[in-house]
Structures are given as C-alpha cells and as structure tokens.
Amino acid sequence: MGIIRYIITLLTFPGALFAGFMEHLACRMYKIPVEYSKYIQKNELSGHVEHMLADQKGSFGVCFLPHIITLLCGISFVLPASMNLFYLGKINIVSLVFMYVGISFLSNSFPLLEHAINMWDHLFKGSAKPVSKIFLAVPATVMYGGAYLEKYGISLLTSIAFSVVLPYVIALFI
C-alpha cells in the first residue's frame, strides 16, 4: 500500500507540503525534536515529518493542530469552488484550481498512524484526566480513524465525496 500512498501524495502535493509544514510547526511549538523533515518521500512518511514520539500533552497537539489547520484551509478552498461547480453549475479555471488545492489539503489533513496511536495511548491508556478523555474523545476518534484512511489512500476518495456533498449540506441550512 506504500506505492498507492506515494502516488496520492504526488497527485496532491500542495496538501502534502502544507500538512508536512504544519506538522513541523507543531513539533517546534511543543519542542519535539524533528529527525527528518523531507515532506515528499517514497514511504509512509510522505507528507509528514519524522520526529520523536511526543509526551502526553504534545501527542494530542501534534496530531490535532496540523489536522485542524489543514482541514480549515481545505474547506476554505473547497467551499467556493464546489458551490460554483456543483451547486451553481459555473465552470471556470479558478474554481477548478481551488477545488484541486482544497481536495489536496483535505486528503492530507490526517496524522500519521503511529502518531495517532501514540496520541490514543496517552489519552486513553495513560493517566489522562477524565475531563480530558470526555472532551477529546470525538476529535481523537476522528483523527485515529482518519489516520487509517490516509494510510490506505482512501482519504482522497472521502475528500472528493466531501467536496461534492458540501454545497448541498450548506444549502440545507441556509
């Protein structure tokens, strides 16, 4: 499955570079040493940086901070593009470029699987406070499941489906 992940990373290189940079930035914020920071690689680290496993506080931050920033940036690109393309039926080059960049951000927004497992262990098997477990259960589950989706390349398909469905979901509430 590594070659499929590598091909998807090459196809969605803007999102892979941005997600890798955000992960590098989160490691700097939590003072976690970065061992290797090449963002596009021919292994499972493609779109990520190799760093030491984080402690209890840093494990959730290294997973959640890059995830939420990349997710919000991806939605900000996908939303206007999908409104134009799918809801209004207007096809132009700007909407196509925004759609490509947004889908690439969304498909690379989840953490690496070993980081998600480390976060899960610190949160639910460690000595975390019960309040932390309650409030962080849903985001931790989303990131843990998303890490598996990204490992097998399914996050690209879910990002495309999300970008098609997004304008219709928003139209339901407006």
Q: How many domains in the chain?
A: 1
Q: Please report the pLDDT score of residue 26 as a whole number.
A: 85
What is the mean pLDDT of the segment spanning 39-58?
Answer: 68
What is the token pair recorded at 87?
């809801």
The region of weakest confidence among 13-22, 29-38, 149-158 is: 29-38
Residue 39 pLDDT > 90: no
pLDDT digits (tens, 9 = 90+) for 122-174: 888 877 788 888 888 898 899 899 989 988 889 999 999 999 999 899 889 88
pLDDT digits (tens, 9 = 90+) for 55-108: 767 778 888 888 999 999 999 999 999 999 988 889 999 999 999 999 999 998
Higher pLDDT, 132 or 110: 110
Domain that holds residue 52: 2-173
